[in-house]
A and B are shown apart, each in its own frame.
Chain A
Amino acid sequence: MIVLQSVTKRYADTAVVDDVSIELGHPGITSVIGANGAGKSTLLSMIGRLLPIDDGTITVDGLDVTTTRGALLARRLAVLRQDNHLTARLTVRDLVAFGRFPHGRGRLGPADRDAIDQAIAYLDLDSVGDRFLDQLSGGQRQRAFLAMTLAQDTHYLLLDEPLNSLDLRHCVQTMRLLRRAADELGKRIVLVLHDINFAAAHSDRIVAMRAGRIHAVGTPTEVITTAVLREVYGLDIAVEEFGGHPMAVYHL
């Protein structure tokens, strides 16, 4: 489990993440929702060691993220952020091969090559495996980076706004894919989402944040309610049920 204890992050005097204690990484998909500036990405960045923690502790399977060797954590926890600009010119296969770095320190054995092939096949990238990333569409690029994190073969997968700048079709595909990875491969996925309906439709658990604090935690039906959404987003949003999932109607 990923355990956060009184975690705080401040910029100047403002706490962007304010005394947060929570357990993340239950089986299945956990979505973190909240308005801009609620501290979702900051929280994920601290778990992923990209930002120093000002107060409190974060442990992954009992390993403190600030003191444990990076390579050890990288075999348990993979992080994918929204900005994936690269200066190096890589093929899809090159990129996915980097996912094996925590295991072989850059040397690829037969097991590593198998893992790379499996990740590429799992994300349906076989036909473009030897193409360069700058020759791919946005959706394919996104899948290539997902393949890298799958090849990393970790228990936990953290994704920061994986649906950003994807069209509707690729959004749906990505969410179904993550669902499949959670169900078939036993991945425990934590993702930051802006579209609450995608969160409601595909998550097992939803964490709603507001102003740096955890506002609500629970199943989609518990969290996606007019009352909670009013607190979190400051909007009156009608919630209907569709196919067993709560669906928020916020476009009107």
Chain B
Amino acid sequence: MSTDTVGQAATGTVPHRRRQQVRVRILTLTGVAVLLVTTYLFTDVTGSWDYVVQLRARKLAAMLLVAVAVATATVLFQTVTENRILTPAIMGLDSLYLLIQTVVVYLFGASALVATEPTLQWTVEIVVMVLFATALFRWIFTGAGRSIHLLVLVGVLFGVLFRSVTHLLQRMIDPAEFAVLQDAFFASFSVQPQLLGLSAATITLATVGLLLIGRQVDVLGLGRAHAIGLGVHHRQLVAAVFALVAVLVAVSTALVGPITFLGLIVANLAYHLIGSHLHRHTVPAAILLAVIFLVGGHLLLERIFDLGTVLAVVIEFVGGIFFIILVTRKGAR
């Protein structure tokens, strides 16, 4: 008998059944995601098969990357802040992204935004956002106060500040240039192919980093006191997680624009469906849900509403309803 079966026998049958249930649910989610992805890629093709599929594959790649980044970042952020209704958006990264775009147009004109090498633009955006986020996280979370409420307040304040400056600058620029800028305000998955590779590489690196500290992050969910008592280097680990979150959110925002609302929905749905606190269960579930929402949302948007609305509306509408149902059901139980 192997040592593993001894361990299994000792823990009894119920935890085993729970593990199996988690596995079944993740597999089901995978099935739905794969189904949606194939439907998106291969159905309703008119015109050149090659062209259409290639175009869609590129969009799909962007969606998958964003799903991984946003879902992972939100779950981690919620663990570290010990709060289930926060998203990294509270740190004002979305508004910072819009501010960067606006400042570029204001200073150099819309032609600059269009003409700049996308890779360069991407890199600058990422660096600025990551620097800002890590500075803010570190300052607030490792300082004397270390309060989540302070972090939220300061984040909201910065968000408002960025938005106000953005609005001010937008009023001062040429209306024709403003029209170009406006495109940047909504998440769009028609991305430059050269950015996909870069983003994929960055997100992969961040994910590997996360895998290395994954089990320690589970302990963070118990709160600071227990984490320290169990021998986790709390400050170091929190700083590392914040850096990962900043990179993931920045990459996703620089790739397709602001979309963090998605994270809140998928993270909470994942906790609910999986019922496990372990990140090796909740993170994959949240990612799969994000894929389902993004690809499903696009299917609805492109095939049923004929592009009559924006993705945010679809996801927030469907996800919002789903979310409210879950919350009320949980309350009733």
Contact = CB atoms under 8 A, between A and B. Distances in A.
A71 B229 contact: no
B215 A89 contact: no
B222 interface: yes
B229 A78 contact: yes
B303 interface: no
Given A93-B15, A110-B10, A86 B229 contact: no
Contact of B277 (A50, A88, A99): A88
Contacts of A186: none
Interface string B67-83: 00000000000010011
B329 to A, nearest CB: 15
B230 A102 contact: yes
A229 B170 CA distance: 71
Interface in A59-91: 69-75, 78-81, 83, 85-91
B232 interface: yes
B64 to A, nearest CB: 28
A40 to B, nearest CB: 16
A85 B181 CA distance: 46
A81 B225 CA distance: 8
A94 B225 CA distance: 17
11 contacts: A69-B231, A87-B84, A101-B230, A102-B231, A109-B3, A113-B7, A114-B10, A129-B14, A130-B14, A130-B18, A152-B230
A105 B11 CA distance: 19
Interface string A87-123: 1111101100011011001111110011011000000
A116 B7 CA distance: 11
Contacts, number: 90
Nearest to B278: A94
Nearest to A148: B226
Contacts of B18: 130
Interface string B261-285: 0000000000100010100000000
Given A88-B79, A88-B222, A110-B4, 15 more contacts: A69-B231, A70-B233, A71-B231, A79-B225, A79-B228, A79-B229, A83-B225, A86-B221, A87-B82, A88-B221, A88-B277, A105-B216, A110-B10, A130-B14, A152-B230
Interface in B1-43: 3-4, 6-7, 10-12, 14-15, 18
B218 interface: yes
A176 interface: no
Contacts of A80: 229
A89 B11 contact: no
Contact of A105 (B3, B4, B215, B277): B215
A110 B6 contact: yes
A230 interface: no
Nearest to A75: B231
B219 interface: yes
Contacts of A180: none
B193 interface: no
B271 A106 contact: no
A48 B225 CA distance: 9
A70 B223 contact: no
Contacts of A88: 79, 221-222, 277
Contacts of B79: 88
A16 to B, nearest CB: 15
B10 A101 contact: no
A53 to B, nearest CB: 14
Given A70-B233, A73-B231, A101-B231, A108 B226 contact: no
